[in-house]
Structure 1
Amino acid sequence: MSAYLGPLRTAVIAFPFIAALIVLPVYIYQYRKFGFVNKLRLATIYAFVLYMICAYFLVILPLPSTRDIISLLGTNRQTYDLVPFSSIHDIINETQVMWSNPHTYIHLLKERAFLQVAFNFLLTVPFGVFMRYLFNRKLGQTILFTFCLTLFFEISQLTGLFWIYNAPYRLFSVDDLIQNTCGGILGYIVTPIITWFIPSLEDVDRKKERKINSVGTIRRLVAMAIDLFVVDFITGILSSVTMMQSLQWVFFIAILILYFITFAYITQGFTIGKWLLRLRLANDDGRLYLWPLIVRETTFFGAVWGMNRLFTFLLNSVQNHPIIMLGLFLIAALYNVILVINFLWNIRSREFFHDRLSGVTDIAVAPHRSSYNATKE
């Protein structure tokens, strides 16, 4: 059992880091494909990622202490087994079970050969469940994908973790291919039993479809974060190319105007972040007009970035006057507290000060084709 707990513990430790890397792509994928985030699908995707990490770590861990497997284990050893069902022969030859006496069957749970076969079956049962429940795959596709997955596992072992090690440190077995594939088939068959108490993803999609025009605050914030990253990236490139780091804030303002006003107006409300999250800016009639857009962006960036830039400049200018500096700092802190309160107060209405002042806000763009009508087997 300890041989399994070690890899599982490592997988659990590694999972948050891998999850952090994929959180934004998964979030964008859901909005691009469905037009909304299905929290149940999101949780299921992360469960699938955790399962895949656990499965792979169980196959490859623990790693040898040296890359020189030949000197560690020698060359006079078996590295592959191409005889089908040899593991069944091992069970029959090694077991203490008397098949005529059912009371002795309990010994199987303590025997290496049987536990190895049982583990191979159980390893890919969740994969079959995910193929049917999450990815809505048919039985034939599940068999193919399960076989490819276990073939990848076995190739990892046969190649010494893709030639990181100079020889295989685990046995490549055709029985593993057979048993893992059967495990995926079993998982596919028992999926309705395992998931009977969980609503289908398609049912949740249909309920979410009714609210597809609702634009949440998190969705807007993610789009804004992507857009600011783009602006900051372009600003950094311009500053490096022109060798004018002192004018970086000037480039930043210029890119803000070109990106959030000129580009957004030409595309009728789209920026890169909004396009990825299926959003666009529009007035009440669905079109986007230049003057309201200018009012919206100058109000927002002036209030959030411009005023804080001004406070920073003033604080640096009065460093020799502690009392004035303290007063300015308190004013700046109070100003930002008011901004945060305004933001939190308007989360429910999803209409912030620059939205109200300009009459321009984010609206949802429905996906070109719907995925809600997919039916499960």
Structure 2
Amino acid sequence: MNSYFEAIRTSLIYFPLLALASIVPFVYFQYRKTGYVQFNRSLVFYIFAFYAMTAFLLTVLPLPAITEGFCEYRIGKVIPSFFPFRFVRDTYREVQGNISLFSIVKSTTFMVTAANVLLLMPLGFFLRYLFQIKHAALATLIGFLSSLFFEITQLTALYGLYPCRYRHFEVDDLITNTFGCFIGFVIARYSTVLPNVSRKPLLDHTEVTLTQRFLAIFVDSLVVILFTSYIIEGLTDNIWILSALKVGVIFFYFIFVSKSTNGQTLGKKLLGIRIIRMDGLPLSYKDLIARYGVFLILPFLVGEVSKFLIDTRFDDRLYLFLYLLFLAIWFFGTVMVTFIRKDHRGWLDRFAHTTQVLANPNK
């Protein structure tokens, strides 16, 4: 039982890191496939990911220390078992002929066998419920292959990371794991009270959603921040030259890149949206400067100047107040207005007479 708790505890420690690293690509692929992020499906997917991680750790943990005589101690004890249904014989021996339901259930062999059945029952459940596999034969095959992967991992001593095996390879595990996957699939098949996690895309996804806009802004901001922080920041100690370089990067990224890609920065490209003029004419540099210059580059310049004034005149809080006030006005005009207006056009689009549309509306 301690090994089970160790595997669960390890998953609880490392799974948040895995979830954090995968959330951006997961959200992106959901958007590209369905046009929105479904909360129920996302939640169930991460529950499945946590289960998959825990199931794997249950087959390899605890990891023993490689000490002197590591293999000599295990050569005669960790032997692969290719005899099917051995658990029946072992159970009979353990109960010593006292064949009763209570004695069988209480036996160690039965508990290990039941644990092997339970190990892949959630997999069968998720195959039907989350991945929407319709055929029991296919789900059972996936369960068998998953169990085979676990057993090969044990048979090869973590693919050669250990000098010899420290866990048993047993054919019975393949049988019981596969049976558990089948049982889980059947349970999910007849469950009718679960929330909907359908992969069907929105039938009327013809407009850019607020979430798409904000994710695009997030990606673009992340690109610019990483570039300016790790590339530009160390080029010079002169604050004015440094600010000019940062403005140049922002100007190039949001204006020249948008012009050359017909209204798509990297963030908008990933989210499948682009900027167009309201009158349908091609975007010009004037349009992009009007859109990004006033409401993106100008706030940055104000921030750089305010930062310099705050650093050199730290006893005067007026500059900090003015900067925060300017940012509040900018945030309201570029973010909050998109919630208020039905067409979701903020001050950037209204000032430049532009809007955002799906790059491939018929896709």
- TM-score scaled by structure 1? 0.83
Answer yes or no: is 1:256 the counterpart of 2:250.
yes
2:292 and 2:348 in contact (8 A); partners too = yes
Deviations 1:221-246 (Å, cap 9, x if unpaired)?
Answer: 32222223333455567649x95575
Aligned equivalents of 1:367 and 1:58: distance in 2?
46
Q: Which amino acid aligns with 2:290?
A: V
Question: Which gives a bigger RCO, structure 1 or 2 (Cα 8 Å, sep 6+)?
Answer: 1
Change (3 A) 1:95 1:282: farther
- Give 5+ residue unaligned stretches, structure 2: none
Indicate the residue corresponding to 2:216 in structure 1.
Answer: 223
**1:257-296 correspondence to structure 2 within 5 Å:** 257-285=251-279, 289-290=283-284, 291-296=286-291
2:278 and 2:353 in contact (8 A); partners too = yes
Answer yes or no: is 1:165 the counterpart of 2:162.
yes
Indicate the residue corresponding to 1:128 in structure 2.
Answer: 124
2:7 and 2:61 in contact (8 A); partners too = yes
Deviations 1:39-77 (Å, cap 9, x if unpaired)?
Answer: 222112111101101111221122214466725834222
Aligned equivalents of 2:281 and 2:173: distance in 1?
60
Answer yes or no: is 1:318 the counterpart of 2:309.
no
Give the CA deviation at 1:298. 0.8
2:27 and 2:37 in contact (8 A); partners too = yes
Change (3 A) 1:154 1:212: farther
Indicate the residue corresponding to 1:374 in structure 2.
Answer: none
1:67 and 1:164 in contact (8 A); partners too = no
Aligned equivalents of 1:121 and 1:367: distance in 2?
47
Aligned equivalents of 2:136 and 2:351: distance in 1?
56
Change (3 A) 1:173 1:331: same
**1:1-377 correspondence to structure 2 within 5 Å:** 1-66=1-66, 70=70, 73-95=73-95, 98-99=98-99, 104-137=100-133, 138-194=135-191, 196-202=192-198, 205=200, 208-211=202-205, 213-216=207-210, 218-235=211-228, 239=232, 247-285=241-279, 289-290=283-284, 291-319=286-314, 322=315, 325-342=316-333, 345-346=336-337, 348-349=339-340, 350-366=344-360
Aligned equivalents of 2:178 and 2:69: distance in 1?
29
2:78 and 2:167 in contact (8 A); partners too = no
Aligned equivalents of 2:117 and 2:250: distance in 1?
56
Report the secondary structure of 1:180's partner residue.
Answer: helix
Deviations 1:8-32 (Å, cap 9, x if unpaired)?
Answer: 2221222211111111010011011
Report the secondary structure of 1:107's partner residue.
Answer: helix
**Total equivalences in the alignment:** 356
Change (3 A) 1:354 1:193: same
Report the secondary structure of 2:275's partner residue.
Answer: strand
Deviations 1:287-325 (Å, cap 9, x if unpaired)?
Answer: 652233221111221343221112112333435xx3xx2
Aligned equivalents of 1:287 and 1:156: distance in 2?
60
CA RMSD of aligned residues (A): 2.9
2:274 and 2:356 in contact (8 A); partners too = yes
2:74 and 2:165 in contact (8 A); partners too = no
1:123 and 1:183 in contact (8 A); partners too = yes
Aligned equivalents of 1:92 and 1:347: distance in 2?
71
Q: Give percent identity, aligned residues only.
A: 28
- Give 5+ residue unaligned stretches, structure 1: 370-377
Aligned equivalents of 2:197 and 2:360: distance in 1?
19
Change (3 A) 1:344 1:233: closer
Aligned equivalents of 2:220 and 2:328: distance in 1?
24
Aligned equivalents of 2:214 and 2:170: distance in 1?
50
Change (3 A) 1:62 1:70: same
Aligned equivalents of 1:50 and 1:93: distance in 2?
37
